[in-house]
Structure 1
């Protein structure tokens, strides 16, 4: 499903149709370079973890596991870009890389496409945006800290995956009736794949997948989840992407890791524009952006304070 730009009545008239067409050109070369470099980082770090744990033990590999966690968790960005079908020009490459990345992070691809399309259609609408429907509603700082760890979100989506696979029923409102059978088949394929990997690990008596994949995926949520909260938390509830979304200024490394999605206002305003053209788009529309974060540490402090303030208001 390719996601066209939703109607945005407040969108500035900054791009001509010809400019948007040029910016929206997709590239197999750009997609391959970004996805291969991301997977290469995972492969190299995973190999180092295996070598270090084999020779010196797990404790000495912990720093590598933390780095691996960031690389693995941020495969979410590959899932996101391929869900838009903008990572590659070839549709089959988007689907292939999307499914592989989704399997690794435990977020079924077809299900996420539907979830994310609904998010774009109803961004910041508390009644319809699925990110807000399933988002954190902490009643204490402890619950807020758990939400920022990302573990609650991972557990929730894995439980939903298992429920779809075992019951054959899909009840979430963002999955239309005609797509429910697809979501069930997908869930069963993912669960079968995980079961085979678990059985293989037990038969071989090898903990390698635990060290290079499972534990890093969980630890990486500590970085990914605050990053994701920065995208919309504390922004307006209007329909304009220039008001309901935040772009965050950050380093080149983070832009590489997140597939340029720190340019998030730009992405929501013009979702047909692929990741590699977002820096150019930013130079055109930057002056219209309302919420511009100055680094992720600063924005995380802001989003944490916003969640706490909302809780205090609800308790008053």
Structure 2
């Protein structure tokens, strides 16, 4: 194996029986509602503190809170991810509602992401078919690598794609089938219209509150979200086995909560029908099968950074 924390020994059969998988795959509106409410309550409370601090003491004093808000807001990505699988709630309608709202907050059109992510699961770590690898970074020097880890390039790419879908109506990416292209265009236009209305309202009210409470935190949050996302597959094998092409990262309860337990990423890829609240139990069952085991995100980020650096294109002389 090419990265630290690989297990020795031959592959063993997956230890889950069909009955166990059915039990673990049970979805819950209560679990989904509690996690959603808690996540949005943290965003609302931090946003209120930012507004108070910036209005009373000046924006500069609210900057530390904006970094905290950035973490909470950016990690709505994991809510979008869970609802894309329709496993956050038992109710399909609740999955779609929370998915759309969360996706709007982070400028990631929901229906588009569902198609993108489905293709990622079908072709995980396939360099020719996995969309995460197709649109992912291919840095050739330290500066490009640092830009990739900031997450800003990826955010700009998806916003630019959304604008192209909305304004030109041209959807050409291979993971969007022809019969879904009109839907993706309509969705992009609804998102752009929503953002335009919020901008007009902010200008009419002469307020920059959304800038400090939402937009700047979204940008700052990419600094945390992007290394987290790179930890999921970077440096893992290119086989079809989720136990070899994906990494589980063992981290704090705080990260697990706001990431909707997605640090248990091997477990999720091996058994995507299992909802977020059952992943800790699933981890206890399959832990011995996991090949790539990250010991915290600081350590894993060092590994993934080194993996990218080792693949810098040589400079012609």
| TM-score when normalising by structure 1 | 0.96
CA contact (8 A) 1:11 1:241 kept: no
- Measure how far apart 1:314 and its partner are: 8.8
Q: Specify the SS of the correspondent of 2:161.
A: helix
Tell whether 2:74 aligns with 1:79. Answer: no
Tell whether 2:315 aligns with 1:308. Answer: no
Gaps of 5+ in 2: 1-10
- Deviations along 1:41-97, one digit per CA (max 9) or x if unpaired, are 000000010011111100111111010000000000000000000000000000000
In structure 2, the residue matched to 1:39 is 40
In structure 2, the residue matched to 1:140 is 141
Tell whether 2:239 aligns with 1:238. Answer: yes
Which range moved further: 303-312 or 241-250?
A: 303-312
In structure 1, the residue matched to 2:288 is 287
- Deviations along 1:96-120, one digit per CA (max 9) or x if unpaired, are 0000000000000000000000000
Residues 159/247 of structure 1: CA separation in 2 closer, same or farther (3 Å cut):
same
Tell whether 2:257 aligns with 1:256. Answer: yes
Residues 315/278 of structure 1: CA separation in 2 closer, same or farther (3 Å cut):
farther
CA contact (8 A) 2:140 2:313 kept: no
- Measure how far apart 1:258 and its partner are: 0.4
Distance 2:70 2:199 in 1: 20
- Deviations along 1:226-283, one digit per CA (max 9) or x if unpaired, are 0000000000000000000000010000000100000000000000000000000000
Distance 2:94 2:125 in 1: 31
Which range moved further: 12-21 or 213-222?
A: 12-21
Distance 1:152 1:314 in 2: 23
Gaps of 5+ in 1: 1-9
In structure 1, the residue matched to 2:5 is none
Q: Specify the SS of the correspondent of 2:86.
A: coil
- Deviations along 1:123-160, one digit per CA (max 9) or x if unpaired, are 00000000000000112100000000000000000000
Q: Specify the SS of the correspondent of 1:145.
A: helix
Q: Specify the SS of the correspondent of 2:234.
A: coil
Distance 1:59 1:164 in 2: 36
Tell whether 2:19 aligns with 1:18. Answer: yes
In structure 1, the residue matched to 2:7 is none
Residues 11/81 of structure 1: CA separation in 2 closer, same or farther (3 Å cut):
farther
Q: Specify the SS of the correspondent of 1:311.
A: coil
Residues 315/66 of structure 1: CA separation in 2 closer, same or farther (3 Å cut):
farther
Q: Specify the SS of the correspondent of 1:302.
A: helix
- Measure how far apart 1:12 and its partner are: 2.7
Q: Specify the SS of the correspondent of 1:226.
A: helix
| TM-score when normalising by structure 2 | 0.95
In structure 2, the residue matched to 1:67 is 68
Aligned residues: 307
CA contact (8 A) 1:231 1:245 kept: yes
Distance 1:239 1:314 in 2: 33
- Measure how far apart 1:13 and its partner are: 3.0
Distance 1:284 1:63 in 2: 40
In structure 2, the residue matched to 1:5 is none
